[in-house]
């Protein structure tokens, strides 16, 4: 049914695969450095916002970017296994198995997709064909309404199924000290 297609092992494909390996290597190196990655993304977002503000245009790109970021945020805040479809996931008694919160969109992929979207949107602002004239206050009001309704639904879902997608504020349990044996009680 399908024909076997031989891939060209020419210099251009070798160069492309070498670039892909290098890019993936740098992404892997950046994975444990959460704060510097988000600071870089914040700087890219700030530069994009300044550019759009100073050139006073490209609002349709910003609106599309906002919708995409909202979609990423919902994926970041949602559990991988939806409790509405698969039943309750949290333990209801002491004999139930504990299952930690696993995101549908992991933090690294969220960061990477968000940063990539802002870089693409930034480069789109250099092409005049993307500067569609729109009345931006209507787009802004529509986006605020969409964001409010979507987040309201997501927060209700989080409350209904009792999950918190963030780890700060949660109880942390520490293991035994490095000596291995638990501290002894003194016999007084």
Q: What is the structure's pLDDT at 188?
A: 47
Q: Which two tokens stand for residue 45?
A: 């977002």
Mean pLDDT of 135-149: 90
Distance of alpha carbon 130 from the chain centroid: 26
Domain ranges in the chain are: 57-165
Say which residues have a Cβ less than 8 Å from residue 41's Cβ, sequence separation at least 6. 111, 114, 115, 118
Of 188 and 77, the one with more pLDDT: 77
The rounded distance, in Å, linking the Cα atoms of 62 and 64 is: 5
Q: What is the structure's pLDDT at 22?
A: 93
* pTM of the model as a whole: 0.72
Q: What is the pLDDT of residues 32-77, one digit of tens each?
A: 999 999 999 999 999 999 999 999 888 899 999 999 999 999 888 8
36 burial (CB, 10 Å; 0-12 / 13-18 / 19+) is exposed
The rounded distance, in Å, linking the Cα atoms of 157 and 127 is: 41
Q: What is the pLDDT of residues 95-109, one digit of tens each?
A: 555 556 677 788 999
């Amino acid at each position: 049914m399908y024909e076997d297609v031989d891939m060209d092992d020419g210099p251009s494909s070798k160069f492309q695969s070498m670039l892909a390996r290098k890019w993936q290597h740098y992404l892997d190196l950046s994975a444990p450095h959460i704060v510097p990655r988000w600071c870089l993304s914040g700087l890219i977002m700030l530069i994009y916002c300044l550019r759009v503000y100073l050139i006073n245009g490209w609002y349709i790109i910003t609106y599309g970017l906002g919708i995409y970021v909202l979609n990423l945020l919902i994926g970041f805040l949602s559990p991988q296994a939806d409790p509405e479809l698969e039943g309750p996931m949290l333990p209801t008694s002491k004999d139930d198995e504990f299952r930690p919160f696993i995101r549908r969109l992991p933090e690294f992929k969220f960061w990477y997709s968000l940063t990539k979207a802002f870089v693409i949107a930034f480069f789109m602002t250099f092409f005049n064909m993307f500067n569609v004239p729109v009345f931006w206050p209507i787009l802004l009001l529509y986006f605020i309404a969409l964001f409010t309704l979507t987040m309201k639904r997501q927060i209700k879902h989080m409350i209904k199924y009792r999950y918190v997608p963030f780890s700060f504020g949660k109880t942390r349990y520490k293991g035994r000290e490095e000596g291995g044996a638990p501290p002894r009680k003194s016999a007084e």
